[in-house]
Amino acid sequence: AAANWLFVPSLVLGQDSVGLALRGVETACGLLLLAGLFTRYAAILLAVLGIVAMVPFSIESILEQVHILGIAIFLFIAGPGPVSLDVRRHADRAIEHRKAPEAAITLLRIAMGFGIAYGALTEKLLDPPLAQALLDQSPFLNVLRPLGVSDPVFIWLAGVTELVVGVVILSGQITRPVMAIGFALFTVTLVVFGLPELIGHLPYYGIMFTLFIAPDADSWHVQRALRRAA
């Protein structure tokens, strides 16, 4: 919000009343979540913010940030962490249901997987000119060009790879290894795009870390198969 962005650098807020209102709500959400104050209400507000933002932007551009909705749902179910102002005011820390933690992790994983798969389609496979424009601006991004791989083929390979990663995350298979690989790939892009890329990827870093350490990150049938194998 301080940089005049909504969630990511590509969603630049306008200077009109709508842009100022969205910036104010985003700032409030960020500060409340950072402090762990009224966490569940802030999570609801964050989800509503994404829905309302479809008006000045587009449904497609907000769906590409659907992982933000996953974060909001996760925080609503899981509640604030142990280090938060909500704990000091003795607010409810989590929904009291034995399946709540597993549901929170599952929905977070599904949102991330869907967002990555959707982005692969809208930014590469279904809109090659968009990806080509980026390669025209930064030709070095095609790291396979020295091997004779043309830009259209590279775009297709990158899109298919991203789509497969999203589908694998959605399926709940080998979640931890995928998170580790994703962390490495996201970090490599920081060398190229710098601070704006870091800010845009911070939510992804948080999700990847959560799914990496969570005991219930894989889907239920994978967990059942692992228990049988043990």
Q: Residue 66: its pLDDT value, please? A: 95
Q: Residue 228: its pLDDT value, please? A: 53
Q: Is the pLDDT of residue 225 over 60?
A: no
Q: Exposure of 183 by Cβ count < 10 A (0-12 exposed, 13-18 middle, 19+ buried)?
A: middle
Q: Residue 226: its pLDDT value, please? A: 43
- Among candidate residues 208, 197, 167, the one with its CA nearest the CA of residue 70: 208
Confidence of residue 229 (pLDDT cuts 50, 70, 90): very low
Please state which of the ranges 1-10, 35-44, 112-121 shows the lowest mean pLDDT.
1-10
Provide the sign of the torsion angle of the four alpha carbons 11, 5, 135, 190, taken in this order: negative
What pTM was computed for the model?
A: 0.87
Confidence of residue 227 (pLDDT cuts 50, 70, 90): low
Confidence of residue 71 (pLDDT cuts 50, 70, 90): very high
181: CB partners within 8 A, 6+ apart:
165
Q: Mean per-residue pLDDT for 29-40?
A: 94
Confidence of residue 230 (pLDDT cuts 50, 70, 90): very low
Measured between alpha carbons, how far is 77 from 100 in angstroms, rounded to an integer?
7
Question: Which pLDDT tens digit goes with each residue over 122-149?
Answer: 999 999 999 999 899 988 889 899 999 9
Q: What is the dihedral of CA 125, 166, 195, 61, to 10 degrees?
A: 60
Q: Mean per-residue pLDDT for 102-108?
A: 91
Q: Is the pLDDT of residue 111 over 70?
A: yes
Confidence of residue 220 (pLDDT cuts 50, 70, 90): low
Determine which helix (DSSP H) or strand (DSSP E) holds 187, and give its type and residue range: helix 175-193
Q: Residue 224: its pLDDT value, please? A: 55
What is the b/e burial string over 188-217, where b = at least 16 CB atoms within 10 angstroms of the residue's CB? eeeeeeeeebeebbebbeebbebbbebebb
Question: Which pLDDT tens digit goes with each residue over 13-34?
Answer: 988 999 999 999 999 999 999 9
Q: Is the pLDDT of residue 119 over 70?
A: yes
Higher pLDDT, 199 or 93: 199
- Among candidate residues 32, 41, 42, 62, the one with its CA nearest the CA of residue 50: 62
Q: How many residues appear in the chain?
A: 230
Question: Which pLDDT tens digit goes with each residue over 162-201?
Answer: 999 999 999 888 888 899 988 888 888 787 788 888 888 8
Q: Mean per-residue pLDDT for 104-110?
A: 93
Mean pLDDT, the chain, as a whole number?
Answer: 88
